[in-house]
């Protein structure tokens, strides 16, 4: 059997409807990790769906408890063919956000697969059941035609990604030897554009914090006291405005990353960011001046005000409010020091006339930034494999603009990470009407079948280094 044959086999798997049948079965399991009542369902997905599917493919599967008390479970599946062969780790998550049943369009719902033109609707189709279903199907196609993989395969399924993957980093540290691999090749997140196959090698970090100005107890009549009492809403607005230029460029020096390397600039050169027909239009003059949109979102840091409140926005009254709050976030790339973000902010506020602003780091572990150099051998190898399948090279993003728990693999396991996303930015993955695009799914199956076939051949970076 040949590489061409495995591509044809995976095309048949999609065109025959087999892929849709498997995905429909998985979507029907309501694995809402944000809903405590669904905890038994998280186990069900592993023990009744993914585990049996991988066992039938020759994997040894084990469902393991989370090292964090009360955390969602994990599944480790392993197919070991020869200790002399390279080992590839594949990650996916089987949990989803809340279904939001009442908000889906008429005739559609979160727990049933619905095909409408090129859109495949259902909760988890894009994030992440559809994506790991593609990868598992591609591995199955290689096994069917070759009879073996030609490499050792480890698959990790996380059931808590939508609640921040609690315990994943500790789990990887605890099972470091069991998960040790030459490379991670996984799928999550969106492509750069719907029609452009994409590889990314890390993620931006996310650092959230809260600001508050608390001046007095209770509000006071704006007619009697206006012009006499300081307004915390106005003060907060000025404090926030001091942090960026009017067009959003960061002013705090410690919030700006190290200059982009030549390899990062070269990888981002000429790339266009496009969320598809339903995506928002990019504001060309927003953010760091002199940078392209791709450089701003994949190669630089951004500061965002996610929420603000002063007084009662729903029922305003004629009173000067006593308090103002803002919930903020920094998305940051490698070359930034997140431990310096808040001390630098304190110094900035104190020297710019805002000592009254209180700063508090938000609860929850911040996800650090990760990045594999675009010229790394595993990146070059994977891009070559995709180009061999599609006849065109994929876009290379040094890191995703969003955040995934990639640090558990890149830092804790010290494993090179290459992500091949099978979704797009306007897929509504955390909203009603979540969907996967059929052309992306079919192309994703073809790409992954080619990658997993090529991993069984001689010319991989792991074999070259042996």
Q: What is the pLDDT of residues 151-163, one digit of tens each?
A: 999 999 999 999 9
One domain for residues 194 and 211: no
Q: Global pTM?
A: 0.91
pLDDT confidence bin for 463, thresholds 50/70/90: low
One domain for residues 9 and 52: yes
pLDDT confidence bin for 365, thresholds 50/70/90: low
Q: Which of 238, 311, 339, 6 is nearest to 143 (CA)?
A: 6
Residue 266 forms part of a structural domain? no
The tens digit of pLDDT for each residue in 307-318 reads: 999 999 999 999
Q: Which of 161, 171, 160, 201 is nearest to 183 (CA)?
A: 201
Residue 274 forms part of a structural domain? no
Of the two residues 394 and 363, the one the predictor is more confident about is 394
One domain for residues 357 and 430: no
| CATH number of the domain bearing residue 52 | 3.40.630.10
Q: What is the pLDDT of residue 366?
A: 67
User: Does residue 89 have a pLDDT over 90?
Assistant: yes
One domain for residues 442 and 384: yes
**Coil, helix or strand at residue 76:** strand
| CATH number of the domain bearing residue 248 | 3.30.70.360
Q: What is the pLDDT of residue 15?
A: 98
Of the two residues 423 and 280, the one the predictor is more confident about is 423
Q: Which phi and psi (to 5°) does residue 39 adopt?
A: -55, -45
Range list of β-strands (E), 231-389: 302-310, 319-320, 323-332, 358-361
Omega before 397 cis (within 30°)?
no
d(CA 395, CA 269): 10
User: Does residue 424 have a pLDDT over 90?
Assistant: yes
The two three-digit tokens of residue 417, written as one number: 């990470």
Q: How many domains does the chain have?
A: 2
CB 257 within 8 A of CB 332: yes
User: Does residue 261 have a pLDDT over 90?
Assistant: yes
Residue 271 forms part of a structural domain? no
One domain for residues 143 and 48: yes
One domain for residues 339 and 380: no
As a whole number, mean pLDDT of residues 177-196 equals 96
User: Does residue 458 have a pLDDT over 80?
Assistant: no
Q: Which of 405, 429, 419, 399 is nearest to 129 (CA)?
A: 429
pLDDT confidence bin for 80, thresholds 50/70/90: very high
Q: Give me the chain's average pLDDT, please.
A: 95
Residue 427 forms part of a structural domain? yes
One domain for residues 305 and 427: no
d(CA 246, CA 226): 28
The two three-digit tokens of residue 459, written as one number: 């010319």
d(CA 190, CA 200): 10
Residue 93 forms part of a structural domain? yes
Question: What is the span of the domain harbouring residue 396?
Answer: 3-203+370-465
């Amino acid at each position: 059997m040949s590489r061409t044959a495995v591509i044809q086999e995976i095309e048949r798997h999609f065109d025959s409807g087999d892929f849709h049948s498997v995905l429909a079965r998985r979507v029907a399991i309501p694995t809402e990790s944000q809903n405590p009542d669904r905890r038994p369902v998280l186990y069900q997905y592993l023990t009744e769906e993914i585990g049996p599917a991988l066992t039938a493919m020759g994997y040894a599967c084990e469902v393991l408890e989370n090292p964090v008390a009360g955390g969602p479970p994990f599944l480790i599946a392993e197919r070991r063919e020869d200790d002399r062969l390279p080992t590839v780790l594949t990650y996916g998550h089987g949990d989803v956000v809340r279904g939001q049943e009442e908000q889906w369009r008429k005739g559609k719902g979160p727990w049933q697969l619905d095909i409408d033109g090129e859109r495949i609707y259902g909760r988890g189709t894009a994030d992440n059941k559809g994506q790991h279903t593609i990868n598992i199907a591609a591995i199955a196609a290689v096994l069917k035609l070759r009879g073996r993989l030609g490499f050792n395969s480890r698959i990790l399924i996380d059931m808590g990604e939508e609640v921040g993957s609690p315990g994943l980093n500790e789990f990887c540290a605890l099972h470091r030897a069991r998960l040790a691999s030459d490379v991670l090749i996984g799928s999550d997140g969106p492509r750069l554009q719907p029609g452009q196959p994409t590889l990314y090698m890390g993620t931006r970090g996310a650092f959230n914090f809260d600001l508050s100005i608390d001046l007095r107890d209770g509000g006071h009549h704006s007619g009697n006291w206006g012009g006499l009492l300081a307004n915390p809403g106005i003060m907060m607005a000025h404090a926030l405005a001091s942090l960026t230029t009017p067009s959003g460029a960061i002013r705090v020096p410690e919030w700006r990353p190290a200059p982009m390397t030549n390899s990062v600039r070269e990888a981002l050169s000429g790339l266009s960011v496009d969320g598809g027909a339903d995506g928002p239009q990019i504001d060309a003059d927003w953010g760091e001046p002199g940078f392209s949109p791709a450089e701003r979102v994949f190669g630089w840091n951004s500061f965002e005000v996610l929420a603000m409140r002063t007084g009662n926005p729903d029922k305003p009254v004629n009173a000067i409010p006593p308090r103002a709050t803002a919930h903020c976030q920094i998305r940051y790339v490698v070359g930034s020091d997140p431990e310096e973000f808040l001390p630098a902010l304190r110094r900035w506020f104190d020297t710019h006339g805002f000592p009254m602003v209180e700063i508090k780091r938000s609860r929850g572990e911040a996800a650090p930034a990760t990045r594999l150099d675009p010229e790394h051998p595993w990146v070059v190898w994977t891009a070559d494999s995709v180009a061999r399948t599609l006849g065109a090279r994929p876009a290379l993003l040094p890191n995703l603009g969003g955040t995934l728990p990639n640090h558990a693999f890149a830092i804790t396991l010290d494993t090179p990470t290459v992500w091949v996303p099978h979704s797009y930015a306007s897929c509504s993955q955390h909203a009603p009407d979540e969907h996967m695009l059929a052309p992306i799914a079919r192309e994703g199956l073809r790409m992954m079948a080619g990658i997993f076939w090529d991993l069984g051949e001689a010319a991989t970076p792991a074999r070259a280094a042996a």
